[in-house]
């Protein structure tokens, strides 16, 4: 049954890819919602929304927010087309390359230094990352923490204090059922009220499967 459902989803996706859509929402620096389908941008990993990066001269800059703003500037108000590059991830997002005309948005995020090439999964943008690195653009201004290490470190710290080592907070608000992982900018402010139906999760997949969604950090 799962195979049948996935096949149907892929077929539907193929149909939507035949035309561009201006129904676009930026979820975060490497995730777009296009015509109701959520795409995790293939081959890149942008800094998390609350992450800061080291800058020239030892200062810090809000690289996570800047990545979101950059992707908004590229996508919002434009016809965006996304194609599938590997099915769905564990959280129900399509892995895709998104474009405006012939402009590859995944590539531009790498070229401008607003994301890392996610070489663990793909080398497609490795060459572009090397160029950005040599030019000290964006996240390459100075040595800084990668988003995968940022997530890992915050997970381990939060896990020590969370009930049964499950640190994801499932919050219910006007925006719906939203979960906050330890790297969320709102993590510390979010309280879990068990009596109101809120709960803790051990993984993002568990939260998604239970009907919670990740927060939107863009427009």
Residue-range domain boundaries for the chain: 2-144, 148-209
Q: Are 116 and 139 in contact (CB under 8 A)?
A: yes
CATH number of 2-144: 2.40.50.90
Our measurement of the distance from residue 10's CA atom to the centroid of its chain's CA atoms, rounded to an integer in Å, reads 21
Q: Are 85 and 14 in contact (CB under 8 A)?
A: no
Percent of the chain with pLDDT over 70: 91
And the tokens for 137?
Answer: 């653009």
Cβ neighbour number for residue 164 with a 10 Å cutoff = 8
- Element spanning 105, H or E: helix 105-111
Q: How high is the pLDDT of residue 1? A: 35
For residue 136, pLDDT beyond 60: yes
Whole-number average pLDDT of the chain:
91
For residue 18, pLDDT beyond 60: no
Cβ neighbour number for residue 201 with a 10 Å cutoff = 22
In this prediction the pTM is: 0.88
Q: List all residues 6 or more positions away from 29 whose beta carbon is below 8 Å from its beta carbon.
A: 46, 47, 48, 49, 64, 67, 68, 70, 71, 109, 114, 115, 217
Q: What is the pLDDT of residues 144-182, one digit of tens each?
A: 999 999 999 999 999 999 999 999 999 999 989 999 999
For residue 6, pLDDT beyond 60: no
Mean pLDDT of 72-91: 93
């Amino acid at each position: 049954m799962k195979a049948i459902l996935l096949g149907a989803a892929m077929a539907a996706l193929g149909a939507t890819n035949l035309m561009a859509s201006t129904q676009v929402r930026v979820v975060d620096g490497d995730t777009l919602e296009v015509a109701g389908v959520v795409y995790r941008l293939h081959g890149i990993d942008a800094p998390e929304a609350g992450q800061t990066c080291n800058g020239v001269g030892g200062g810090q800059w809000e690289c996570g927010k800047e990545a979101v703003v950059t992707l908004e500037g590229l996508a919002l108000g434009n016809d965006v087309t996304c194609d599938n590059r590997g099915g769905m991830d564990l959280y129900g997002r399509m892995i895709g390359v998104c474009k405006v005309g012939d402009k590859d948005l995944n590539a531009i995020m790498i070229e401008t230094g607003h994301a890392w090439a996610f070489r663990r999964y793909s080398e497609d943008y490795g060459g572009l990352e090397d160029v950005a690195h040599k030019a000290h653009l964006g996240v390459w201004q100075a040595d800084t923490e990668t988003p995968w290490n940022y997530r890992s470190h915050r997970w381990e710290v939060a896990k020590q204090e969370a009930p049964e080592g499950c640190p994801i907070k499932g919050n219910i608000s006007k925006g719906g059922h939203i979960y906050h992982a330890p790297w969320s900018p709102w993590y510390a402010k979010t309280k879990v009220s068990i009596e109101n139906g809120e709960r803790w999760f051990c993984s993002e997949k568990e939260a998604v499967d239970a009907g919670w969604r990740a927060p939107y950090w863009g427009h």
